Amino acid sequence: MTINPDLKYSRDHEWVKEEDGLFVIGISDFAQDALGDLVFVNLPEVGDAVTAGEAFGDVESVKAVSDLLCPVTGTVAEINEELLDAPEKLNEDPYGAWIIKVENVTASEDLLDAAAYEAFCAEA
């Protein structure tokens, strides 16, 4: 399992990166490995409100559906449309394949740095 040292992580295995006032969100390598081959991604629309701790979309493997839980509260500024046709990018490059970018962020979960997230995964 790899952990990108430059990112912050939620306890639901999403990663977060602040970039020019936007919060970029994806799933960790731990998450993609546990989910298995991803074959479909349901994304929100630009302009949708998202809430910390609540689902903003879902990913489907061959066997099951899993919610994507948003680590921050705000408004969806961009979605990664490439994932609609190629959800396997989340398996192949979890830290490169961002899912959504959120603007007007008013709240955030208590996020873990890479070292704390590594310890969190070790206990999981």
Partner 1 sequence: MSELKRTQFYDIHVKAGATMVDFGGWEMPIQYPEGIVAEHLYTRSVCSLFDVSHMGRLLIEGPERLAFLQHVLSSNAAALDVNQAQYCIIPAEDGSAVDDAYLYRFEEDRFLLVVNAANTDKDLAYFAPIVKNYDCTIKNITDVTVSIAVQGPKSGEMLKVLAGGVEVTKPSRNSLSTMDLEGHTVRIARTGYTAEPIGYELFLKNEDAEWAWNRLCELGAKPAGLGARDTLRMEGMLPLYGDEMGVDEDGKPMPIFALALAKFAVSFDEAKGDFVGREALKKQADAQASFKAKNYSPEAMAALPKRVRPIALVDRGVMRHGMAVYRNGEQIGWVTSGTMIPYFMTEGEGENVRLLPETGKRAIGICYIASDVPLNGEVEVDVRGKRLKAVIPSKHISNNVPPYVVPVMAKHN
Q: E strands, 14-54, where?
A: 14-19, 22-27, 38-42, 49-50
Nearest to 96 by CA among 19, 24, 21, 31: 24
Interface with partner 1 includes 124 (CB under 8 A)?
A: no
Residue from 18, 37, 54, 93 that binds partner 1 (CB under 8 A)?
Answer: 37
Q: Under a CB-based contact definition with an 8 Å cutoff, are residues 82 and 52 in contact?
A: no
* Shortest CB 76 distance to partner 1, Å: 18
Interface with partner 1 includes 81 (CB under 8 A)?
A: no
Interface with partner 1 includes 63 (CB under 8 A)?
A: yes
Residues that bind partner 1 (CB under 8 A): 36-37, 39-40, 42, 60-63, 65, 84
